Amino acid sequence: MHVDIITVLPELLNSPLSHSIMKRAQDKGLLTVNTHNLRQWAVNEYGQVDDYQYGGGAGMVMMCEPLVNAIESLQKERKYDEIIYLTPDGKTLDQQMANQLSLNENLLLICGHYKGIDERIREHYITKEVSIGDYVLSGGELAAAVLVDAIGRLLPGVLNDETSALTDSFQDHLLAPPVYTRPAEYKGWKVPDVLLSGDPKKIDDWRHEMAIDRTRQRRPDIYKKHEE
């Protein structure tokens, strides 16, 4: 998968995406992420990409022209399956959306700043609007990093068996069961006997039961979907 990201702060994105599993995905050639500084397409030599909002009020708005030039110049290189604007009023990211987005070849992400981007860009270029939750961040970069991480780890070959996404929360509409590691007893706190039993069937059954209990208690909304 190839992801291009348009941003005014590329340095904010480069670090979160260059460690651990995201690094492995890129090292293996399964994911490429290119950040593009919107100021390359600024309207003047001062690097201007935003302006006051019509109607007055505090906060600048990201202008049409630099965004159109950025999007169209990247579109000359690549055909995008989706052009995604990260925005608090978009559809909230969940595992199902991440699963679906991971099936694409090429994505273009747009990070807003200040009051956001001119509405006309949303109307004429954006194909999908994604929020990472009901709160407001200062810019779209951290949201873009969250989205790329959620998608990138699902690409075939990125996770090995040990870390398989299929045993993580939200797949099959269940939360993950509790996990333990050595020692088997610490300060008198014991690991459940079944996990030391060496019986794979018993262990699987216990994990499934725990996942169901945990989901029922903590996320009845998700449990309802599991039952459907």
Q: Interface residues with ligand SAM (CB under 6 A)?
A: 86-89, 111-113, 115-116, 131-133, 135-140, 143
Residues 6+ apart with CB under 8 A from 116: 61, 62, 87
CB-facing half-sphere around the CA of 57: CA atoms within 13 A: 8
Annotated binding-site residue? 46: no
CB-facing half-sphere around the CA of 110: CA atoms within 13 A: 30
Q: Residue 134 CB, nearest distance to ligand SAM (Å)?
A: 7
> Looking at beta carbons only, is 117 or 210 nearer to ligand SAM?
117
Q: Residue 131 CB, nearest distance to ligand SAM (Å)?
A: 4
Q: Residue 144 CB, nearest distance to ligand SAM (Å)?
A: 8
Q: Residue 180 CB, nearest distance to ligand SAM (Å)?
A: 34
Annotated binding-site residue? 172: no
> Looking at beta carbons only, is 131 or 215 nearer to ligand SAM?
131
Burial class of residue 167 (count of CB atoms within 10 Å of its CB; 0-12, 13-18, 19+): middle
Annotated binding-site residue? 186: no
* In contact, 16 and 48? CB cutoff 8 Å: no
> Looking at beta carbons only, is 88 or 152 nearer to ligand SAM?
88
Annotated binding-site residue? 136: yes
> Looking at beta carbons only, is 149 or 172 nearer to ligand SAM?
149
Distance between CA 41 and CA 46 in Å, rounded? 11
Annotated binding-site residue? 27: no
* In contact, 202 and 192? CB cutoff 8 Å: no
Distance between CA 28 and CA 19 in Å, rounded? 13
Residue positions forming the annotated binding site for S-adenosyl-L-methionine: 112, 132-137
